[in-house]
């Protein structure tokens, strides 16, 4: 599966737009129509949609049907049969743990230029931190998502999340860092007369601006309700509107990993198996003809298919007396061993945790008073995965600075193009507070007060704490 996904992603890069137009005699619109049709049917997009569906609890078990052999020997649905559909959403649990581990706390920005740092902190405010947390969730469900940089109606710089299943990226490089063009396909609600309808909207992004279309029967039709536009519209002192571009496409790709693989691909089969075994366990615990072997004597029916159908549908069968021997239906009861189910369920949950690279909050190592080494051991898998995700996010945030620096330059704040910035992700991990405080005390003779307070679990601002302590 990984090879298939990786191939689909890399294929997007090989489909060079200019080459396609020259070699096949296609127009640019025809090229995009072909790419949109292929993307909508692709395994890559299906996996992205599955990630979002499974996170929301809309999983395959909900479509399960109980079937039996009918009178004609063919399988048919038995709507009266017991059919529990249990969703034990361990996938969503893993996503939430990974999101909150990496992105629940605001990032810290380190910069030597105080003016630049102040400006960045105003942009990377609480609203942005919430956006970044939602980006992390989107990345896990889709493998990749995009932050669209724009100016809102009040002229403020904003960031809008676009999920991966809506965007077809055309990369200019093999590392997938520079966009040549991008196409967004999404549904919007509109009206035809007095009837509400769903309209497929298409936006084509280039360095110069955005083109707006509607997709009808696979064809791109210019959107009559929205004109093509540049990314920035500025009103000068004469009242005239001037249009500008950023010089780059203002879509920043945030990736879960380097192959842009959704988390669901690692655990879908395990999640489906868990749902199935729990649903079957519930079915077997309830009264059902499926947990008995039936012994027939003088059955008054045509064949066994009719017998099974009557039993599943009506819950009764007809018997008769032949040659003085009374008809009967005897049962050999199949006892359901709940312990077997418990073992399988536990193993499946552990397998999901391991393959999702999450952690078990009920780990035996947390019993009593766990030491810091045990805690770090429990977090080892999720910490390694978070490190890879953080590396991808660091690169994306650096790309985001390109647009922020232009904004700050044009706003008259200053030119910070060559100023170094470092982003620190403050991970949300469990700690043994007593042990850390004890180590801080033991280090007082060899470390500075600033270093000790920076690592103290109760201190958020070491400099402020030093100042407060010095005050009488």
Residue 237 or residue 191, greater confidence: 191
Question: Are 9 and 261 contacting, i.e. CB atoms less than 8 angstroms apart?
Answer: no
Tokens of 331: 């049962």
Question: Are 199 and 189 contacting, i.e. CB atoms less than 8 angstroms apart?
Answer: yes
| pLDDT tier at 34, thresholds 50, 70, 90 | very high
Buried b (16+ CB within 10 A) or exposed e, 136-159: bbbbbbbbbbbbbbeeeeeeebbb
**DSSP code, position 449:** H
Give the pLDDT confidence score for residue 437 in this predicted structure. 74
**Average predicted confidence (pLDDT) for the chain:** 83
Question: Are 465 and 450 contacting, i.e. CB atoms less than 8 angstroms apart?
Answer: no
Mean pLDDT of the 56-69 span: 92
| pLDDT tier at 146, thresholds 50, 70, 90 | very high
Instruction: Identify the weakest region by mean pLDDT among 62-71, 109-118, 350-359.
Output: 62-71
pLDDT at 176 over 70: yes
pLDDT at 315 over 70: no
Instruction: Identify the weakest region by mean pLDDT among 119-123, 179-183, 425-429.
Output: 425-429
Quick: pLDDT tens for 200-245. Answer: 999 999 999 999 999 999 999 999 888 888 887 765 555 566 678 8
Give the pLDDT confidence score for residue 74 in this predicted structure. 83
Tokens of 373: 């080494």
Quick: pLDDT tens for 434-456. Answer: 666 777 788 888 888 777 776 77
The pLDDT > 70 percentage for the chain reads 76
User: How far is Cα 223 from Cα 227, in angstroms, rounded to an integer?
Assistant: 7
Give the pLDDT confidence score for residue 377 in this predicted structure. 73
Domain boundaries, the chain: 431-472
- Among 52, 1, 47, 101, CA closest to 381: 101
Alpha helices in 104-125 (DSSP H): 114-123
Quick: pLDDT tens for 341-381. Answer: 899 999 999 999 999 999 887 766 665 556 666 666 778 88
Q: What is the pTM of this model?
A: 0.80
Residue 403 or residue 22, greater confidence: 403
Question: Are 131 and 145 contacting, i.e. CB atoms less than 8 angstroms apart?
Answer: no
């Amino acid at each position: 599966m990984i090879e298939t996904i990786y191939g689909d992603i890399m294929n997007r890069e090989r489909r060079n737009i200019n080459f396609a137009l020259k070699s096949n005699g296609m127009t640019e619109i025809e090229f995009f129509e072909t790419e949109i049709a292929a993307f909508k049917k692709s395994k890559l997009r299906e996996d992205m949609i599955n990630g979002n569906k499974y996170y929301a609890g809309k999983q395959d078990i909900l479509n399960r049907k109980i079937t039996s052999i009918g009178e004609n020997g063919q399988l048919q649905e038995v709507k009266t049969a017991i059919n529990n559909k249990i969703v034990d959403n361990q996938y969503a649990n893993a996503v939430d743990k990974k999101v909150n581990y990496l992105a629940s706390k605001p990032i810290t920005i380190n910069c030597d230029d105080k003016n630049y740092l102040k400006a960045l902190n105003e942009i990377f405010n609480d609203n942005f931190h919430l956006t970044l947390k939602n980006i992390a969730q989107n990345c896990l469900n889709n493998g990749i998502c995009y932050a669209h940089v724009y100016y809102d109606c009040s002229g403020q710089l904003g960031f809008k999340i676009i999920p991966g299943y809506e965007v077809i990226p055309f990369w200019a490089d093999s590392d997938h860092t520079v966009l040549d063009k991008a196409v967004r396909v999404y549904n919007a609600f509109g009206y035809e007369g007095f009837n509400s309808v769903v309209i497929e909207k298409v936006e084509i992004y280039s360095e110069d601006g955005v083109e707006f279309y509607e997709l009808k029967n696979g064809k791109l039709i210019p959107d009559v309700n929205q004109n093509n536009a540049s990314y920035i519209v500025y009103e000068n002192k004469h009242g005239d509107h001037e249009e500008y571009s950023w010089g780059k496409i203002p879509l920043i790709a945030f990736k879960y990993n380097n192959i842009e693989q959704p988390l669901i691909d690692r655990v879908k089969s395990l999640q489906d198996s868990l749902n199935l075994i729990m649903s079957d366990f519930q079915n077997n615990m309830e009264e059902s003809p499926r947990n008995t072997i039936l012994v027939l004597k003088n059955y008054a029916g045509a064949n066994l298919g009719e017998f099974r159908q009557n039993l599943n549908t009506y819950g009764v069968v007809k018997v008769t007396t032949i040659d003085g021997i009374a008809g009967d239906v005897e049962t050999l009861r199949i006892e359901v061993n709940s312990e077997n189910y418990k073992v399988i369920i536990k193993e499946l949950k552990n397998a999901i945790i391991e393959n999702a690279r999450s952690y078990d909050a009920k780990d035996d190592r947390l019993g009593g008073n766990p030491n810091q080494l045990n805690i770090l051991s429990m977090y080892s898998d999720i910490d390694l995965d978070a490190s890879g995700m953080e590396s991808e996010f660091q690169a994306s945030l650096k790309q985001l600075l390109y647009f922020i620096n232009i904004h700050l330059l044009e706003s008259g704040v200053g030119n910070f193009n060559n100023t170094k910035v470092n982003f620190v992700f403050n991970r949300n991990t469990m700690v043994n507070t007593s042990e850390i405080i004890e180590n801080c005390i033991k280090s007082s003779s060899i470390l500075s007060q600033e270093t000790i307070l920076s690592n103290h679990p109760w201190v958020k601002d070491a400099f402020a704490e030093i100042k407060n302590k010095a005050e009488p």
